[in-house]
Structure 1
Amino acid sequence: MLRYLRFKLHQIGRATKRSAFLNKYFPRFKDRVYWAGDRSSFARAGFVGCFCMMLPIPFQMVFGSVLAYYVRANIPLATALAWITNPLTMWPIWYGGYMFGTWVLGTPDLFHASQGIVIGSSEWFSDVFPHIWMPFFIGNASLGLLFGSVMYLLIGHFNFQWIRAKLHSLRAHKG
């Protein structure tokens, strides 16, 4: 089963790299840094993925992949990190961003004042959203910058070789 999955992933990767659309609009798409990468490529991907994860926009993964291309970051890692915000997790994540935005801007929490109005209805968009859009977007974007910066620093400056060597020496002493 695992061998079959590896084969399918290899086929998908090969088909993706041979795509006429991608090769026309993204000419450096086959470059190794986008797929295998190095520590700096992974660090940039960590920033891009965490930043895009927090953006309250549709198609964050596509935006993260395109942004990863332009900053020469690892595309699979950036896309996977942007995928953290999915239909199950986006509501609590974005609500936390909204609460952070109200704290940063010093505005009251008007989201709870709109009880009885269905979220996403035309009444909600005309009565509630004009009052909460600024803390919503500023909070999520600033948390995206914060999480992205932390991820960049963790991946880019954390010495993984040292940890790997310590684990190897511990295993050698045990056995």
Structure 2
Amino acid sequence: MIRFLKLKVHQIGRKVKASPFLNKYFPRFRDRVYWAGDRLSFARAGFIGAFCMMLPVPFQMLLGSILAYYTRANIPLATALAWITNPLTMGFIWYGGYRFGTWLLDTPPLKNIDPNIEIASQQWFSDIFPHIWQPFFLGNMVLGVIIGTIFYLLIAHFHGIQLLKQLFHKPAKSGQ
């Protein structure tokens, strides 16, 4: 099964890299750093993917891929991390960002909301959104930077941690 998945990923990668549109408008698209990468490329992708995950905008995955291209980050990792916010998780993640924003701005969260107002309806945008947009966007943006920075540092320094473990790991004595 794993071999089949690896084969499919390689097939998709070959098709994407051969795309005339992508090669015309993104000339460096075939560069190895975008697909295989190095530690710095993966660290950048970790920041970009986590930051885009927290943004309360549509097409986070596309935004993450474009930002990864322009910052020479690993495109598959940045795209995959942006997928963490999906229709099942976005409500919880963005509500957490809103609550964090209310804490940052020291504003009370809205409590007396009419439950009959449908989210994202015209009435919701006219009655509720003007009161929540500042903590909502600020909280999600700041959390995106914080989580992205954590991902960046973990990925960038993971290799160093592995080297330190190997350096201080004492091999077992054999034959005595």
Percentage identity across aligned positions?
68
Q: Deviations over 1:62-119 (max 9, x none)?
A: 0000000000001111111111001100000000000001111111102x32132222
1:105 partner letter:
L
Q: Deviations over 1:119-142 (max 9, x none)?
A: 222111110001111110010001
Q: How far apart, in 1, do the equivalents of 2:123 and 2:34 lie?
A: 45
Matched, 1:43 2:43: yes
Q: Deviations over 1:31-73 (max 9, x none)?
A: 0111111111111001000000000000100000000000000
Structure 1 residues 44-59: aligned runs within 5 Å: 44-59=44-59
Match of 1:137 in 2: 137
Structure 1 residues 4-153: aligned runs within 5 Å: 4-110=4-110, 112-116=111-115, 117-153=117-153
Q: Deviations over 1:130-172 (max 9, x none)?
A: 1111110010001000101111111112325337748x978x7
Give the RMSD, CA atoms, in angstroms: 1.9
Q: How far apart, in 2, do the equivalents of 1:42 and 1:3 lie?
A: 23
Unaligned segments of structure 1, at least 5 residues: none
Q: How far apart, in 2, do the equivalents of 1:96 and 1:115 lie?
A: 21
Unaligned segments of structure 2, at least 5 residues: none
TM-score of the aligned structures, taking structure 1 as reference length? 0.90
Match of 1:161 in 2: 162
- Aligned length, in residue pairs: 170
Shift of 1:25: 1.1
TM-score of the aligned structures, taking structure 2 as reference length? 0.89
Instruction: Choose 5-14 or 35-44, whichever is displaced more.
Output: 5-14
Q: How far apart, in 2, do the equivalents of 1:70 and 1:6 lie?
A: 27
